Chain A
Amino acid sequence: MERNLEKTMDDVINTEGVIGCILADHQGLCLGAKGKASGDSAGLIAAIADQAAKLEPGSKSPIIYLQNDTRQCLIHRQGPVVAAIYKQVSS
């Protein structure tokens, strides 16, 4: 069941610097969210991944890396799953 999904997210959350993560399905529906991350963002994250993939059609799906002074956000799609990881910037 979804225990493996939960475990995957727990593993990521326990990585140093990670403060939150989200998994969304291909439609942008939330599969799970852990830490400082809202399930409401799942649709946005899937949309960002889809739009970024349109920049270079035919190439592999990109890893989107958003960053500000304090936080980073990684977004990536693989098959039917879109993942986002929020990290604290180590200063």
Chain B
Amino acid sequence: MADDLFTPTITPTAYAGPRRPPWRPGSLIYPAILGGALAGTTLALINAGRLRLPARDTLAIAGAGLVALAARVLVTTMLLDGRVSGPGRVVGALCGALAWTVANLLQKGRFRSYEMRGGEPTSLVKAGIAATLGLGLVEGLIIVLAGGLR
């Protein structure tokens, strides 16, 4: 049967279960919006590893995260005098949402395939709260430092 459709393409090791189950990509919006682009992107990159995303997609997530973080730092320091509360908080949420949008687009299909193989997502609650508080604070410090340099 000379038909490339009927050529085996599934290798035994390529689809072994992940070392740790991934998070639902849609849930990453919470730390991304509440904690900012740094928190959202860090969790999205960990999730990319768990979902075995291709290197190109992982780099795109990292790139979008960096752009979102740079945009937040620039807008907050240049237009809002380094204030992270009030409108500064909204800018942080929008930049987090931007980083999440790219991560979600690139991870959704891979996560759904994982689900179709019977995989279950793991809870994001602990890691999400830790990233929101810890990395949200780091992002705030970066803004303060950038404001000081200006």
Partners in one complex: no
